[in-house]
Chains A and B, each alone.
Chain A
């Protein structure tokens, strides 16, 4: 009894006393957080700054913080014929993402709202393909793709990227489908709506934000992919990451130009990632965490 009373008496007091230094620690924590965030982001910032420098400013022994910005490096990158690489990356990314959605959305539907038998086995199979290291398949892929004359062809990358992203998309989309309230579907079928109608008019509008997030995550992965691209392509079909390597030359100054090329390579996906940041975890954890 007494203990309870004293505890009851003490707690508001201690709340008072902790609140005041709490504000000060709060400000300190906020400052610390900002410092850490800016420090962690710094390499990216530096890459962007370097992209706007002249080569001689980019390679100084003491880092140059103040300089007159120039667009020369971006111009030089564009002149060096990265156009095809950009188009290839764009094509591989957009077409593979479209294919992933075309194959993945129906599959996710068949594994959630109107589940097939052995749903668990199918889910297990899809996710297990993501657990096979790509390197274990690269040799036969190279040989097979070579035999059918598809080396250095963007379509090869489209097929491979589709396979690479499909499991993530299926698991992620499934987690969105499972959030569709069952009563809605029942109500729709009571009203005599056909399956197709209820899919089109009830389910798809509800899961479209999920589809968009899934698409963005597929875009990020395909755009950034390098291992398959460097092995399957040479000149014609090379993608942006492969072209980027070409900007590292052994001689002369190349840092500013390389930075400009890197900025151009990274910008599209960084923006996609910023847009999708709330759904990023969900995609990366196969929908296990929301």
Chain B
């Protein structure tokens, strides 16, 4: 009940039979219907599309703020430079690793947490509240917390725990910077996956599970053959949505490692930020932005398809 139910998308069917009959009236009616939508539409187009169009334009310019007056049109040269930049390739790879790693680990952990929460036990509400909190903590505060209290090489918690095993003096932030950032991201994003998967679990038809259990199916078989297939859509949606939110990861990189050492833990948003606001290379930074968008379109298409399927799937069935 509580989940996924796609609404019959009321009257999305384009024009309908009325259209030919009373064209003038339906036109007035059309504007009356459109009225409430227009402010939001115009606002969104102006604020989100214009900057992006300008980015496209900038990406064709040789424009460095350090050299005023040097601005000129150079066609696709910025893109050539971007693809020849070995640092950019490393950063692009980091971005992918960060997203894929974070999504995979937080899906697995989220699934585990959701399964643990999907049964009645004392204090369930409190446990759920505790588990979602990392997602709510201001990302900057979370990143600082991990950088200092958790991972500091001198007096962080991890250091203390490693000390029990006789391991000393590991500076995770400089030796494994990408893993450190990923750990922080996993901590923040596991609750998101958990909530999505929990919604999936709670939408499972209980009677089918009961029937299968009475038929003597083991818990493991139940999980593999009924629960997991049912959860698949939720996990997929969680993964693509997580990926889309994570493409924008900036705060933990900026706070914890500043992308370093070198560009070892820089991702695209951080690298572009560095190029634009510290290197003042507007043209190249813009070209990198465009490349990032093109790359995310693939993920976005998948995400959109899944989201729309969730809305329209039941409509087809009905």
Contacts and interface: CB of A to CB of B under 8 A. Distances in A.
Interface of A: 7, 10-11, 14-15, 26, 29-30, 32-34, 36-38, 40-41, 43-44, 46-47, 50, 59-63, 103-104, 106-107, 109-120, 122, 124-144, 159-160, 162-163, 166-167, 170, 175, 178-179, 182, 220, 223-224, 226-227, 230-231, 240-241, 244-245, 248, 255, 258-259, 262-263, 265-266, 269-270, 272-274, 277, 280-281, 284-286, 288-290
Given A46-B145, A163-B47, 6 more contacts: A43-B145, A112-B10, A116-B37, A166-B43, A244-B138, A258-B144
A255 B144 CA distance: 10
A179 B1 CA distance: 12
B220 interface: no
Chain B at the A interface: mostly helix, strand, loop or mixed? helix
A290 B199 contact: yes
Contact of B149 (A46, A124, A129, A160): A46
A221 B277 CA distance: 24
Given A29-B121, A43-B146, A107-B37, A226 B251 contact: yes
A30 B155 CA distance: 33
A259 to B, nearest CB: 7
A7 B289 CA distance: 64
Contacts of B251: 226-227, 241
A5 to B, nearest CB: 14
A59 B108 CA distance: 34
Given A33-B116, A47-B145, A285 B307 contact: yes
B30 A270 contact: no
Interface stretch (B80-88, B126-134, B174-182, B221-229): B126-134
Contacts of B195: 277, 280-281, 284
A133 B299 CA distance: 12
B289 A135 contact: yes
A241 B138 contact: yes
Contacts of A41: 130-131, 133-134
B52 interface: yes
B304 A127 contact: yes
B72 interface: no
A244 B54 contact: no
